[in-house]
Structure 1
Amino acid sequence: MHFLSESLSVSASSTGALTVSPSSVFYTDDSSIAQSAANGAQPLTVTYTSVSSALKVPAIVAPRLLVNGAVYSSAFPPQVRISYSGANVQEDYLASDGKTVTRTLLGTSYSVVALTGLISASPAELFANSAVGVLTNTLNGQSLYNRQASWQTGAAYVKVVRHTVGDEAFTYDCVAPTTTGPNPTPCSATISTLENFFPYASTADGKTYQIGDGQIVTLAGMRAWVANAALASAATDYRVYYQNNGEIYAGYLIKDGTTLQLAPLGGGTQQDSYYFLNSAALQSIKSAIVF
C-alpha cells in the first residue's frame, strides 16, 4: 500500500509553462508484508519513494517517545509488526533497538474502492481527502497531470480508520540545538520540578501556560504535566512538560483510543479516514503527472 504526501510549489512562465520548485515533495510511504499475518505477527517493510523523478524524498526525522520512564528513538525506516484482530489490523511500531514497542495503532473500518475510467473523474472523496487532490490544482489554466489519463487495470484505494492503542507520549527538542537520539534538548536545565517551572511561555504554542492549565500525572513512567485543553492540530493531542534527570522537557500526548484525523486539502472539518493507493493506482499517477 502507498500513502501519498505532498507539498508543491508551482510557478508559470510568461509562456504558460509550469515549473515545480525542486524544493517541492510528492512522495509515498510504501508498506508491504511478505505473507499474511493470519498465523502470527509479520514484519512490515516500509520505504519512501518520490512519485516524480524530478523531486526528492524529504528528510524524515524518526519520532521519539517516552516508554517506561525512558526516551526511545523510533526505528528508521520504521520497523513495524503487523497482526490481525478479527477484521482489524494492529501495527506495533518498534524503537531503534528493534524490540521495544513505542506505539500501537489499530486499523478498523476497512473499505476498498475500485478506480476505473479517467483519473479526472475519480470519486470526490479521493480528491478532497487525500494528497491525490493536489493534482486538481491549475495555474493559468495549466494542469499538473494529463486530464485524459485513465486508471490502470486493477487500480484501487483503501480507506481505513486508525486509532491509538495506549497513550502515546512524544518528545522533541524544546529549544536549540536540534538533536537526535534519546537526549532531547530540555526547556530548562536549571529547574528540576514541574511546580517551579510554571508559568512558562511556549513559543511553539504562542501562549503562556499556568500550572492550573493542566494536571500533574505519571505518564509513561515520567512525572509529567498534561494540559487540560487539546492543541490546535489535526491530531487530538495535548501539550506535555515532564521532568527527567533534574531537567524539564517538552512533548505532546495522544490519548488511548484517539481516532487519528487528517485535515482535508481544502481545509474544514477534520476527517477520520486514511487513503492508501494500491500499486496500480500509484503507477497510474506516476504516468499521468507532468512534473
Structure 2
Amino acid sequence: MTSFNRQSACVLAAVAALLTACGGGSADSSPDTKGLSARAADAQTPASSPADTPTPTPTLSANQAAFEEFLLSPGSGSYLLHWTLSYTGLQSSLVTAYSDFTTLPLSPLTNGPQTSAQSEPFNISKTLRNPTLLPTRVLKGGKILVVPSNGLMNRTSYVGNDVQIDALAEDKTTVAYSAIRSNYETVSLTGTMATTPADFARFHDPLFGNSKVLDATAPYAAGAKYIKFTKTNLGDRYNAGDCQAATTTANVSPCRIGTTLLATMTSGQRSNSDGVTYYLADGTVRTVDGVQIWVANAPRPKSATLSYTEEFRIYFELGGNVYTGSLIKDGTVLGGSYYVSNPSATTLVDRLTFLPYDIRLNKAAHDSIVSAMKI
C-alpha cells in the first residue's frame, strides 16, 4: 500500500508544474505576457499588512471625560471640602472648614501619566481657624513612607475605562498607595442650598444639616456641578500609626521596644481606639517585603474608623520594635463621608450612615458654598 501525505502531494504538484511548463499547457491556460522587469517589480511590492492599518484615535471613556471636565482647561480645578464641624449648634474655636483643589496639566489619554500637586488649603469660613494638617504614613518596601497632606503629589493614569490615582511619598517619586476611580456621575447644582441633591448634602452633612453653618437661601452660581464616583483601593495598603506619642515623621512611636512581634502578640497588645486587646490567635502573621506583620482576622469596629472603608488592625516588627497600623485590602471600596441618619440612636455608629462614594466640586460649586457660609 502506498501512503499519500502532504510532502508527496507537493512533489506531485511540482512534477505537474514542470510538465505543464515544458508541454505548452492547455487551451484554458493564460500565457504570462509580462517581462522580467515587470515580474521583478511585482516581487518587490509588499502585500498589505496589519502594520499598514491606521491606528485608531484614542477616545476618553465616560468616566475619564467626567474626570477631566473639572481638571483640564477650561476647567478651573477639582475641589474637595474638608471639615471638623459640629453637627448642631454653634462651632467651637477648635473646628475647621477648608478646601483644596487639583488641576491636571495634560490628558493622560494621549500624554501618558500626569503628575499634579494638590493646592494649599483654603479656609472656606469667615471665623474659623486655619487647619493643622497631618501626614499619612504607609509601610511599604520594608520601610515607612510619609505622604504629606499639604502639597500632596498625585500621579494620574488611565486603566481601561477608569482612572488610577497614585499618591506619591514626600520624595515625589515613590508610589505610597493607589486607588481606582470609577462609576462617575456629573450632576448640576441649581436653585438654592435648600434644594441641594440628597447625595451631595449627605456627603457634606455638617454643612447642610446645621442651620448655623450655611445660608439655605443662598443660590448656586451658574454652571455649578459636582462629580460623584466610586474609589477602590488598588493593592494591599498597610497604614502605619502612632502607638503612644503623636508624631508626624517616618519615626512613628512604637507599641513595644526591644522585643519581637511573636512575643508581643502572644502576651497581647491593647488597642485603645479599637477597644480590643489583640492576641496572636486573633489574626495571622505574614511577611511582606521582609517585614513580619500580624493582621487581625476581624475588621476594626466602625466606632474606631467612622468610615465605610473596611480596615484590619495590624502590628509589625521593624528594627527591633513593634508598631501598629491598619490594613486596607486590595479591592476595598474607600468610603468618603457619613451623615446623621438616626439622631435618636443610643450609640454614635447607630446614628450614622457611612457613604460608599466620593465627591468633588467644580469651582462654581465651590465658590457658591463659600459664599453661603455663615461662620
Structure 1 residue 107, shift from structure 2 partner: 0.5
Q: 1:262 to 1:220 in 2, by over 3 A?
A: farther
In 2, the alpha carbon distance for the partners of 1:187 and 1:36 equals 45
Q: Is the aligned partner of 1:109 residue 2:180?
A: no
In 2, the alpha carbon distance for the partners of 1:193 and 1:22 equals 42
Structure with greater strand share of residues: 1
In 1, the alpha carbon distance for the partners of 2:215 and 2:336 equals 27
SS at match of 2:145: strand
Task: Assess if the C-alpha contact under 8 Å between 2:256 and 2:321 holds in 1.
Answer: yes
Q: Which residue of 2 aligns with 1:152?
A: 221
Alignment of 1:45-194 (within 5 A): 45-47=117-119, 48-75=121-148, 76-128=150-202, 130-131=203-204, 134-138=207-211, 143-176=212-245, 178-194=246-262
Task: Assess if the C-alpha contact under 8 Å between 1:126 and 1:133 holds in 2.
Answer: no
Larger gyration radius, structure 1 or structure 2: 2
Q: 1:133 to 1:121 in 2, by over 3 A?
A: farther
SS at match of 1:265: strand
SS at match of 1:287: helix
Superposition CA RMSD, Å: 2.0
Q: How many residues align?
A: 279
Task: Assess if the C-alpha contact under 8 Å between 1:191 and 1:197 holds in 2.
Answer: no
Normalised by the length of structure 1, the TM-score is 0.89
**Residue deviations 1:236-278, cap 9 Å, x none?**
0100001111111111100011100244221444221111111
Q: Which residue of 2 aligns with 1:276?
A: 360
Q: Which residue of 2 aligns with 1:34?
A: 105
Which amino acid in structure 1 is aligned with residue 373 of structure 2?
A: I
**Residue deviations 1:168-194, cap 9 Å, x none?**
101122112x22322211111131232
From 296, 304, 322, give the equivalent of 1:248.
Answer: 322
Task: Assess if the C-alpha contact under 8 Å between 1:2 and 1:30 holds in 2.
Answer: yes
In 2, the alpha carbon distance for the partners of 1:57 and 1:237 equals 30
In 2, the alpha carbon distance for the partners of 1:156 and 1:132 equals 18
In 2, the alpha carbon distance for the partners of 1:11 and 1:101 equals 39
What residue ranges of structure 2 are gaps of 5+ in the alignment?
1-77, 341-350
In 1, the alpha carbon distance for the partners of 2:289 and 2:99 equals 32
Q: 1:133 to 1:275 in 2, by over 3 A?
A: farther
Structure with the bigger RCO (C-alpha within 8 Å, sep 6+) is: 1
In 1, the alpha carbon distance for the partners of 2:262 and 2:185 equals 46
Structure 1 residue 196, shift from structure 2 partner: 4.4
Structure with greater helix share of residues: 2
Which amino acid in structure 2 is aligned with residue 73 of structure 1?
A: V
Task: Assess if the C-alpha contact under 8 Å between 1:169 and 1:220 holds in 2.
Answer: no
Which amino acid in structure 2 is aligned with residue 182 of structure 1?
A: A
From 326, 333, 357, give the equivalent of 1:259.
Answer: 333
What residue ranges of structure 1 are gaps of 5+ in the alignment?
13-18
Identity across aligned pairs (percent)? 31
SS at match of 1:194: helix
The more displaced of 260-269 and 145-154 is: 260-269
Structure 1 residue 44, shift from structure 2 partner: 2.0
